[in-house]
Amino acid sequence: MSSISRTSSTSSDDAVVVDLADHEMDSKQAESTDDDQFPVDADSESEDDDDEDFSDDNGQTIVTPHGREYKALKNAKKVLIVTPAFPPNISFGGGVAITYDALTRRLKKRGAEVTVLSPQCGNLDGLSANMYPGFKLIAPNFPNLQRIWHCVGAADIVIVPDSIVAQFVIFIGRLKHTPVINNVHTNVKALLQKATFKYNPIPTLVDFFLALNTWLATVAYTTSPSYTSVLKKRGYRVVGSFSPRIKTQVFNEYDEPEAIAEARDWLTKGQSDKPVLIYVGRWSEEKRIHLLSEAKPDGVICAVIGDGPLADKINALHDEKRGF
């Protein structure tokens, strides 16, 4: 896991300045997240910058009126990331945490000073979520907003995912004339609909404010071309998708046949001759992992890898005879 250095100051603008030297990652993991993957200028002609990481619905590089944000992010010397999810706790919001850890490394490699504000780093007050007892949301209280105010003013550009305080961050960015990139990661509306009664207006209301964030922010992105289409139909102003390549470089590595055979044997409990389906991700309600158990064909091994709030329920599905 990563360890984060904390400033010793106790002032209202106390923050975590992420230093790669403080990250306790093995060399292979560091190489996989620290490769030259993000971010780039969409208008750049440099050979080093031909791996643009923002794409439109068809996977094409985006050239929009917001192209200045590419340049702003690429050339920024001081970047602020305000996120509820960040290592070392990746059991909740793991994909988001890994994304911003990888992004921090990429920006740091480009010479930027990256400040991360997060309850996971201990520099923002957290708020417990009923659906995720072990996960801390960012509390919209005065000390947090005061700290965010000071940090936004000191930054060249701000990155904020969907969260309770995202709208505050965006408004502060407007007042401070600091560009804010809003990233939409989670289908919060669907998540709330599963957790409340059928005609509860809260999911729709929350979705309205999250959509409003994308209009108020300088520019907004989401996680995939397909989700871009879904959000646009719901009134979000998202211009494209945020590529996962900053955290998936490890999959470009070559694995020796012996290592692959060993992994298959371990995953299948010695039945490596059978087809193998793999799920890797957070074990939470919205992932609907139980459907994998119900839909798994006979003669196929399904390995579910991860952790999260539904760990006990998912572990209860373990059945070697069925190959799950």
Region for residue 111 given its phi and psi (left: phi exceeds 0; alpha: psi -120 to 50; beta: otherwise): left
pTM: 0.70
Residue 78 β-bridge partners:
113
Closest CA to 132 of 72, 91, 100, 176: 91
> Is 7 within 8 Å of 109 (Cβ atoms)?
no
- Written as tens digits, the pLDDT of the chain (324 aa) is 333 333 333 344 444 444 333 333 333 343 443 333 333 333 333 333 433 344 444 444 333 334 455 556 667 789 999 999 888 876 666 778 888 888 888 888 888 899 999 998 899 998 887 666 667 889 999 999 999 999 999 999 999 998 889 999 999 999 999 999 999 988 888 877 777 777 888 888 989 999 999 999 999 998 888 889 999 999 999 988 876 676 676 677 788 989 989 988 888 888 888 899 999 887 877 788 888 888 888 889 999 988 777 888 889 999 888 889
Give 308's DSSP letter: S
Q: Measured in Å, how far apart are the chain's first and last C-alpha atoms?
A: 28
pLDDT tens by residue, 269-290: 888 888 999 998 878 777 888 8
Phi, psi of 149 (to 5 degrees): -55, -50
Q: Give the separation between CA 221 and CA 159, rounded to whole angstroms.
A: 11
Phi, psi of 295 (to 5 degrees): -95, -5
Phi, psi of 118 (to 5 degrees): -165, 145
Beta-strand relationship, 157-161 and 180-184: parallel
pLDDT tens by residue, 202-239: 888 989 999 999 999 999 998 888 889 999 999 999 98
